[in-house]
C-alpha cells in the first residue's frame, strides 16, 4: 500500500526534518570540541564548510543561467551577504559554543527574528505596536532568565558572558543578513542566491583558516578521524541537507508556516543536549525557554502588523 502525501503535508515534513537537523548543530560542535584540544571554532568551521562547498557549487552551476544579466557591480551585495550571514555569523556561533551550553546557544540564536523587527523599526522610523513590545519582553525576558540560571552554575563568569555575547552577536549578524536578502532573492532567485551566498561563505571560511592558523595543513593532519566525521556531519547533515529541505518546505508552505514548524528547534536542541551532552535545565529555565519561543513566534507569525 503506497502512502501519498499532500503538498502541505510534504512541506510540513520537510520543515520538521530541517528543524531537527539544524537542532543537532550545537550537539555536533560540543562533541567535536571534547575530542581534541586542537579543535577550535576556526578549525571545525573549516571542516564543515569544506564538506559543504561542493554541494553549493553544484547548486550554483545548475542555476548559472540566472546570472547572465547580472552586472559586475551587482555582485557586491550577495558576496557581502554570504560573508556576513553564513561565514561571520557562523564563526561567532562556533566560538561562543566554546563557553556556553548548547541549550542556551540555541535559545539566544532564536532571537534573530526580534532583531530584524527592531532594526526595521529603526531604519524606517516606525513605532512598535503594543503586541510587538509584549512579544519582545517575553522573548528577551525568557532568554535572560535562562542565562541567569546557567550563569549561577558557571565557575568562570567572564567566559560565560563572553560566550553569550558572541552567540548574540551571531544572531545580530544573521538578522542583518536577513534584512538584505529579500531584494537579492528576488533578483538572483532563491536557489541561485542560496548557492552563491553559501559558496562565498565557504571560501571565506577557508581563507580565514589559512590566514589565522599557523601551519594549517599540519593542524589538519593532527586531528583525530572522529573530528573529521563530525566536521563532515556538520557540512552535510547540518548545513546542506536542512538548507535544501527548508527551501523545499518554503516553496510548499510559505515562509510563515515553515517558521512556525521551525519553532520546535530550541526544544529539540535542549532534548538532544540532555541526551548526548548531559545538560540539564531546571524549571525556571524551561519557563524562560517557553517565554522565548512564545515571544519569537508572536513576532514571526505577524510581521506585517508589528508597527503601530
| Number of helical H runs and strand E runs in the chain | 16, 0
Q: Which residue has the higher pLDDT, 241 or 186?
A: 241
Instruction: Kindly compute the dihedral angle of the four CA atoms of residues 55, 46, 168, 195, in this order, to the nearest 10 degrees.
Output: -20
Indicate if the pLDDT at residue 1 is higher than 50: no
Q: Look-up: residue for cell 551550553?
A: 101
Across all residues in the chain, what is the average pLDDT?
Answer: 90
pLDDT tens-digit series, residues 111-142: 998 998 898 888 888 888 888 899 999 999 99
Indicate if the pLDDT at residue 306 is higher than 60: no
Report pLDDT for 213.
92
pLDDT tens-digit series, residues 143-170: 999 999 888 877 767 789 999 999 999 9
**Cβ(251)–Cβ(14) below 8 Å:** no
pLDDT tens-digit series, residues 242-295: 999 988 888 888 877 787 888 888 999 999 999 999 998 889 999 999 999 999
Report pLDDT for 3.
61
Indicate if the pLDDT at residue 304 is higher than 70: no
User: Grid coordinates in use for 86?
Assistant: 553564513
Report pLDDT for 261.
82
Over residues 222-234, mean pLDDT: 96
Report pLDDT for 20.
95
DSSP code of residue 127: P
User: Grid coordinates in use for 138?
Assistant: 517575553
pLDDT tens-digit series, residues 13-30: 999 999 999 999 999 999
User: Grid coordinates in use for 34?
Assistant: 571534547
Binning the chain into helix, strand and coil, the percentages to the nearest 5 are 80, 0, 20
Q: In 158-189, which positions are buried (b, 16+ CB within 10 angstroms) versus exposed (e)?
A: eebebbbebbbbbbbbbbbbbeebeebbeebb
What's the CA gap between 55 and 268, in Å, rounded?
26
What's the CA gap between 57 and 298, in Å, rounded?
36
Q: Which residue has the higher pLDDT, 120 or 57?
A: 57
Report pLDDT for 287.
93
**Residue 82: pLDDT band with limits 50, 70, 90:** very high
C-beta neighbour count of 229 within 10 angstroms: 14
128 forms beta bridges with: 307
pLDDT tens-digit series, residues 181-213: 888 888 888 899 999 999 999 999 999 999 999
Amino acid at each position: 500500500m503506497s502512502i501519498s502525501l499532500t503538498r502541505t503535508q510534504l512541506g510540513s515534513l520537510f520543515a520538521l526534518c530541517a528543524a531537527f537537523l539544524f537542532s543537532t548543530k550545537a550537539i555536533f560542535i560540543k562533541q567535536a570540541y571534547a575530542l581534541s584540544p586542537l579543535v577550535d571554532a576556526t578549525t571545525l568551521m573549516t571542516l564543515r564548510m569544506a564538506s559543504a562547498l561542493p554541494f553549493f557549487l553544484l547548486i550554483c552551476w545548475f542555476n548559472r543561467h540566472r546570472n547572465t544579466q547580472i552586472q559586475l557591480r551587482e555582485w557586491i551585495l550577495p558576496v557581502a551577504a554570504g560573508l556576513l550571514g553564513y561565514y561571520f555569523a557562523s564563526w561567532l556561533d562556533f566560538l561562543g559554543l566554546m563557553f556556553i551550553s548548547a541549550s542556551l546557544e540555541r535559545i539566544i540564536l532564536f532571537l534573530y527574528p526580534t532583531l530584524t523587527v527592531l532594526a526595521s523599526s529603526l531604519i524606517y522610523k516606525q513605532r512598535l505596536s503594543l503586541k510587538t513590545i509584549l512579544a519582545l519582553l517575553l522573548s528577551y525576558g525568557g532568554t535572560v532568565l535562562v542565562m541567569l540560571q546557567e550563569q549561577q552554575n558557571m565557575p568562570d563568569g567572564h567566559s560565560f558572558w563572553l560566550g553569550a555575547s558572541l552567540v548574540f552577536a551571531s544572531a545580530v549578524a544573521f538578522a542583518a543578513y536577513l534584512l538584505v536578502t529579500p531584494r537579492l532573492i528576488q533578483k538572483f532567485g532563491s536557489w541561485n542566491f542560496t548557492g552563491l551566498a553559501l559558496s562565498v561563505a565557504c571560501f571565506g571560511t577557508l581563507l580565514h583558516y589559512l590566514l589565522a592558523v599557523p601551519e594549517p595543513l599540519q593542524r589538519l593532519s593532527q586531528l583525530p578521524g572522529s573530528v573529521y566525521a563530525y566536521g563532515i556531519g556538520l557540512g552535510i547533515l547540518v548545513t546542506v541537507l536542512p538548507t535544501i529541505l527548508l527551501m523545499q518546505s518554503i516553496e510548499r508552505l510559505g515562509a510563515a508556516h515553515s517558521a512556525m514548524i521551525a519553532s520546535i528547534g530550541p526544544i529539540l536542541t535542549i532534548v538532544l543536549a540532555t541526551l548526548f551532552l548531559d545538560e540539564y535545565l531546571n524549571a525556571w529555565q524551561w519557563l524562560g525557554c517557553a517565554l522565548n519561543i512564545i515571544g519569537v513566534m508572536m513576532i514571526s507569525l505577524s510581521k506585517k502588523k508589528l508597527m503601530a
